[in-house]
A and B are shown apart, each in its own frame.
Chain A
Amino acid sequence: MLTITDLAVKFPSRFGDFTAIEDVDMVIKPGEIHGLVGESGAGKSTVGAAVIGLLQSPGYIAHGSLTLGDTDLRTLTPEQAHAVRGDRISMIFQDPQTSLNPLMTIEDQLIETIQAHADVSTAAARQRAVDLLEEIGIKNAAERIKAYPHQFSGGMRQRVVIALAICTDPELIIADEPTTALDVAVQSQVLKLIQRLAKDRKIAFMLITHDIGVIAQVADRVTVMRKGRVMETGETAQVLGAPRHPYTRALMDAVPPLDYRIDRFRVPQEEGADFERSLGQKAEDWLLAGVQGAPTGLTLQNLYVRFAGPRTSLFRKPEPYVALNDVSLTVRPGSIMGLVGESGSGKSTLAKAITGLVKPSDGTMILGDEVLPGGKARDRHHPSRQLVQMVFQDPYSSLNSRHRIGAVLEEPLWFYGFVKDADQRKELAASMLALVGMQPDAIDKYPHQFSGGQRQRIAVARALLARPRFLICDEPTSALDVSIQAEILNLLKDLQAKFGLTILFISHNLTVVRQMADDTAVLRNGKIEEIGKTEDVYERPQAAYTKSLLALTPVMQRASFAVAAHD
């Protein structure tokens, strides 16, 4: 039904035309969920935008054909193309928080869309809208339809977005990362809804995602893209179970499994690994000299963090918002403690409490055998400021973009008074870069000259140059592509083993924690639901919440696909 042949999209720039996608072929049949998977820069969203005719300016279709049924989409005038949008092709965006007009009720937005494509009375359009909302699982729709978008939760909002996309009975829906902004429980519901719509209404879906687990769960067919080109396309079971293209194979290797632990990810070729590792020897020796003695553990006892809630009345005291509720946990010296939880569970607050950015309202924190003062009570020269270091989530914001890498790396060295001599500092920083798998000459460059994965390596190097005993990794790979994630996880494992670091590893991703942690704590609404050895938590979960999290996490079970592919 949708046929893409030899599609190429280019963006003019000051370096000449930049080719975003090239040689893309794809066929999507009615009722089929066609996964389009790839890492950042693969051009998968550009394919979707080209099909619906909403390419970001100044991009243009250089050549190729796009046909929907017997309509050639490229020959349409702008007015005709706009009439096709919504009527025959619709789209679902990533973030339900921003996809709906905040100033209009759901009702107005639905009726307006229905009437844009069908000559029906307002009353009939309203009835259709209500029925549709009921169908996709919004209870009491006749009432709720009068609400504004901000009155719905994230998951409900994504349902409304889907209702808007299907209210005109389109043949094709382009879903661009439709579940990336959602928690796993909601993600699973939305995916089920998409599956049902494809089956019942014979809507074809182009499901654009970076998450192979999502593809494995719902896609009938899948196309793998890389750097603007199609690598492989076929039945989901075949592509994921018995990948033919080396890139697909490497991608599959980098996906962390949920049901067992692998020691090291197989990574085909690490970025910048083509130089002498021995350059890192100096940094290694320096670190080892500084971390003699037993590793340092951390104990939290009955920790509470309360924030002032939003003030809604002059007379009532605002309700405090409890971010952490009676959290007790012990990170054993030299081990990795995994901390999993959905957004808003308080994971990051915990990291901030330990690092002194947030003041706990109650409870004690003990690092090694010293009590850590909380918040402002911890003065600027407290030893923990050196012993505890952090690797942040967003490598694009964790390095000061106006400072050279050298300045970023040397800062801890002079700040903590480790190395007085400027030349030695530079030498050590360069060596540390080698240790984390970077070319030492990176020292004279600026952060924007590096990719996300490289920046995260630099961030790790900065943390190590403080000679930490306790490292907090707050979602260190969630901004990275899966193959880069595998490299960073390998790096962290290596460093932890070599230097006896104690690590608190925070992530929303259960599969990643499974690969990294010795012990795992599950956090929900600021409370610890379950804590124990990682194996026990994953294989014999006690808390109902842990069980449902594990059940809902989309996973790629290669074994089962491999079997299916052989049939």
Chain B
Amino acid sequence: MVYFILKRLVQSVFVMLAVAFLAFSLFRFVGDPITQMTGVETSVADQERLRDELGLNDPFILQFGRFTGDMLQGDFGFSYRTRQPVAEMIADRIPATLELGIVALLISLFVGIPAGVYTALRPRGIATQTILMTTLVGVSIPTFVIGIMLIFIFGVQLGWLPTFGRGGTVQIGGWESSLFTVEGWRALLLPAITLGVYQLTLTMRLVRAEMMEVMRTDYIRFAMARGVPMQKLHYKHALANTMVPVITIIGLQFGGVIAFSIVTESVFQWPGMGLLFLESIRFVDIPVMGVYLVVIAFFFVLVNLIVDLLYVAIDPRLRVRDVQ
């Protein structure tokens, strides 16, 4: 078990290093950092001096090592566009994106899992067919179109909910949260639904597929043959076994949620990391792009480590050693 977790940890470190390398390559090879940092009036000699000072003439590996070291100490460099420290810019935006992503994920789980279970247990019902068709249409509508439709209906036609921004926010120890005001929740609702709908359909279809697979296993048929009450059979035996693969995919999806928030944030002008990333692409602001990548990968890796721990909690085959 310890070995299993250690192995995953090593893999995570590898993924992080690879993404850091990607970010570094971006920074180093896409455009010349010096020309980006300095204006046209800087002389060639000054540029060379700066290049030397910044260590850009050192061997590649050494530069990468320094880059990684700086990152570990929280030094992410400066934006080409705003000249601010990237760390600050990102940190300002993280709460907005995380709140959006987590609320969207919760929506997708709380609706997606029950719907998946229901459609798996009644595969031939009319309700199931309707739900399946609806979700198929759901995955086929681009996120931005869903956003537009929600804005059009609830923002423009009905005028119930705000169509952009975060509404009221509260500062809690440097964390700017919209979860503690009514205005904040009103502003959060449409973007969170927009972002959640796609994940919801994926979660539902996945739970359904896994559940149907589990319902066919020998141990479920055996439990059935022993007359284990249906409720227990469905929710204790089948659902628990379904969750093992489902958790993995949900872990993988969380990366998707954060990334898809780029689109949602753009539609709703939600001031999160995604919007920042879009701006940085438009202005070829390489340091911000690179750091955004690293931050996204970090969340991804973190969530997947949590998933591994959940695995161990759920599955005794990983937890309890063979005592034979």
Contact = CB atoms under 8 A, between A and B. Distances in A.
Q: Do A and B come from one complex?
A: yes
A98 B229 CA distance: 20
A52 interface: yes
Contacts of A109: 223
Given A99-B222, A104-B237, A151-B323, A313 B3 contact: yes
Nearest to B6: A314
A104 B239 CA distance: 13
Contacts of B316: 102-103, 105, 148, 150
Given A112-B232, A148-B317, A151-B324, A165 B218 contact: no
Given A151-B324, A312-B3, A103 B226 contact: no
Contacts of A207: none
Contacts of B217: 98
B315 interface: yes
Interface of chain B, main secondary structure:
helix
A101 interface: yes
Given A101-B237, A148-B320, A117 B225 contact: no
Nearest to B124: A57
Given A102-B317, A103-B316, A85 B218 contact: no
A101 B225 contact: no
In which size bucket is the chain A interface? 35 or more
Contacts of A83: 227
Interface in A283-311: 311
A235 B210 CA distance: 46
A168 B219 contact: no
Interface in A105-122: 105, 109, 112-113, 116-117
Contacts of B225: 52, 54, 85-86, 89-91, 165, 174
A101 B3 contact: no
B3 A152 contact: no
Interface string B230-267: 10100011001100000000000000000000000000
A109 B2 CA distance: 28
B37 interface: no
Contacts of B232: 112, 116
B6 A99 contact: no
Contacts of B6: 314
Contacts of B227: 82-87, 113, 116-117, 168
A109 B316 CA distance: 15
Nearest to B214: A101
Interface in A176-230: none
Contacts of A84: 227
B314 interface: yes
A116 B320 contact: no
Interface in A35-89: 52, 54, 82-87, 89
A165 B226 contact: yes
A150 B219 contact: no
A467 B322 CA distance: 48
A472 interface: no
Interface in A528-563: none
Interface in B189-224: 217-224
Given A99-B222, A100-B222, A102-B315, A82 B240 contact: no
Contact of A93 (B222, B236, B237, B240): B222
Contacts of A102: 219, 241, 315-317
B222 A85 contact: no
Contact of B218 (A82, A93, A147, A148): A93
Contacts of B315: 102-103
Contacts of A165: 225-226
A85 B223 CA distance: 10
Contacts of A113: 226-228
9 contacts: A84-B227, A87-B227, A89-B225, A98-B219, A102-B316, A102-B317, A116-B229, A150-B322, A312-B3
Interface of A: 52, 54, 82-87, 89-91, 93-95, 98-105, 109, 112-113, 116-117, 147-148, 150-153, 161, 164-165, 168, 174, 311-314
Given A147-B323, A150-B316, 16 more contacts: A83-B227, A84-B227, A91-B222, A91-B225, A93-B222, A98-B218, A101-B220, A102-B219, A103-B316, A117-B227, A148-B316, A150-B317, A151-B323, A151-B324, A164-B222, A165-B226
